Amino acid sequence: MTGDSTQLHLTSDDVDAWLAGVAAPELQRHVDQCSACLELVQAEQALAAQLGTLPLYTPKVDFANRVMASVYIPDPFAIRSLQAARRRLLGSRKAIAIAATLALVLLGSMSASAAWTLANRDTLIAAGNWLAGQAAGWAWLGLRSAALNLIEQPWFAGFRSLVETPGRLAIASAALSLMYVSGILALRRLLAVPPRRVAHANR
Amino acid sequence: MAAKPDLAAKSDRDIVALARAGEEPAYRELIRRYERPIFSLLYRMVRDRELAEDLAQETFVKALNAIESYRPEFKFSSWIFKIANNAAIDHLRRRELDTLSLEGSPHAETPDAIEATALQIGARQESPLDAVEARELGGQIEVAIARLRPEYRSCILLRHVEGRAYEEIAEILGLPLGTVKTYIHRARNELRQALAHLRE
- Please answer whether residues B16 and B83 qualify as being in contact, where contact means their C-beta atoms are separated by less than 8 angstroms: no
Across the interface, which of B22, B35, B138 has its CB nearest the CB of A63? Answer: B35
- Do B31 and A64 make contact, defined as CB atoms within 8 angstroms? yes
| B94 CA: distance to closest CA in chain A (Å) | 23
Share of chain A above pLDDT 90, in %: 36
Query: How many domains, in total, are found in chain A?
Result: 3
CA–CA distance, B74 with B70 (Å, rounded to integer):
8
- Please answer whether residues B115 and B104 qualify as being in contact, where contact means their C-beta atoms are separated by less than 8 angstroms: yes
B197 touches chain A (CB under 8 A): no
Which chain A residue is nearest to residue B125, measuring alpha carbons? A55
Question: Is residue A79 in a domain?
Answer: yes
Same domain (yes/no): A175, A143: yes
User: What is the torsional sign of CA A41, A46, A47, A52?
Assistant: positive
What is the DSSP-derived secondary structure letter of residue A45? Answer: H
What is the DSSP-derived secondary structure letter of residue B69? Answer: G
Nearest C-alpha neighbor of A64 from the set B60, B46, B17, B48: B60
- Do A12 and B31 make contact, defined as CB atoms within 8 angstroms? no
The yes-or-no verdict on residue A202 having pLDDT over 70 is no
Which residues make Cβ contacts (< 8 Å) with residue B40, sequence separation at least 6?
A: A55, A56, A57, B161
Same domain (yes/no): A141, A182: yes
**pLDDT value, residue B190:** 94
Q: What is the pLDDT of residues A124-168, one digit of tens each?
A: 999 999 999 999 999 999 999 999 998 888 888 888 887 888 888
**pLDDT value, residue B2:** 42
- Please answer whether residues B162 and B37 qualify as being in contact, where contact means their C-beta atoms are separated by less than 8 angstroms: yes
Question: Is residue A148 in a domain?
Answer: yes
CA–CA distance, A97 with A112 (Å, rounded to integer):
22
Greater confidence (A178 vs B114) lies with A178
Q: Kindly list the residues from chain A whose CB atom is less than 8 angstroms away from the CB atom of residue B20.
A: 74
Q: What is the pLDDT of residues A82-102, one digit of tens each?
A: 777 777 777 778 888 888 899
Which residues make Cβ contacts (< 8 Å) with residue B182, sequence separation at least 6?
A: A12
Same domain (yes/no): A141, A186: yes
Across the interface, which of A13, A47, A66 has its CB nearest the CB of B191? Answer: A47
Which residues make Cβ contacts (< 8 Å) with residue B24, sequence separation at least 6?
A: A68, A73
**pLDDT value, residue B115:** 56
**pLDDT value, residue B127:** 47
Owning domain of residue A186: 135-192
Same domain (yes/no): A188, A139: yes
CA–CA distance, B53 with B87 (Å, rounded to integer):
12
Question: Is residue A140 in a domain?
Answer: yes
CA–CA distance, B123 with B40 (Å, rounded to integer):
13
Same domain (yes/no): A184, A157: yes
CA–CA distance, A59 with B35 (Å, rounded to integer):
7
- Do A67 and B61 make contact, defined as CB atoms within 8 angstroms? yes
- Please answer whether residues A65 and B24 qualify as being in contact, where contact means their C-beta atoms are separated by less than 8 angstroms: no
* B 176-195 near A (Cβ less than 8 A): 181-182, 185, 188, 191-192, 195
Question: Is residue A97 in a domain?
Answer: yes
Which chain B residue is nearest to residue A40, measuring alpha carbons? B192
Q: What is the pLDDT of residues A30-53, one digit of tens each?
A: 888 888 888 888 888 888 888 888
Collect the ranges in chain B with pLDDT lower than 50: 1-3, 97-100, 121-127, 130
- Do A13 and B56 make contact, defined as CB atoms within 8 angstroms? no
CA–CA distance, B133 with B120 (Å, rounded to integer):
15
- Please answer whether residues B164 and B75 qualify as being in contact, where contact means their C-beta atoms are separated by less than 8 angstroms: no
The CA dihedral of B45, B173, B153, B75, to the nearest 10 degrees, is 80
Which chain B residue is nearest to residue A70, measuring alpha carbons? B61
Across the interface, which of A51, A58, A74 has its CB nearest the CB of B141? Answer: A51
Q: Which of A77-81, A93-97, A179-183, B142-146 has the highest mean pLDDT?
A: A179-183
Q: What is the pLDDT of residues A113-135, one digit of tens each?
A: 999 999 998 999 999 999 999 99
**pLDDT value, residue B3:** 40
Q: Please state the ipTM of this predicted complex.
A: 0.75
Q: Kindly list the residues from chain B whose CB atom is less than 8 angstroms away from the CB atom of residue A57.
A: 36, 39-40, 43, 52, 120, 123
Same domain (yes/no): A48, A79: no
- Do B138 and A54 make contact, defined as CB atoms within 8 angstroms? yes
CA–CA distance, B123 with A20 (Å, rounded to integer):
28
Question: Is residue A201 in a domain?
Answer: no
Same domain (yes/no): A147, A103: no
- Domains plus CATH for chain B? 10-120 (1.10.1740.10), 126-200 (1.10.10.10)
The runs of H, that is alpha helices, within B21-110 are 24-46, 49-65, 76-95
Same domain (yes/no): A113, A139: no
Question: Is residue A157 in a domain?
Answer: yes
CA–CA distance, A13 with A27 (Å, rounded to integer):
11
- Do A66 and B57 make contact, defined as CB atoms within 8 angstroms? yes
Which residues make Cβ contacts (< 8 Å) with residue B70, sequence separation at least 6?
A: B16, B63, B76, B79
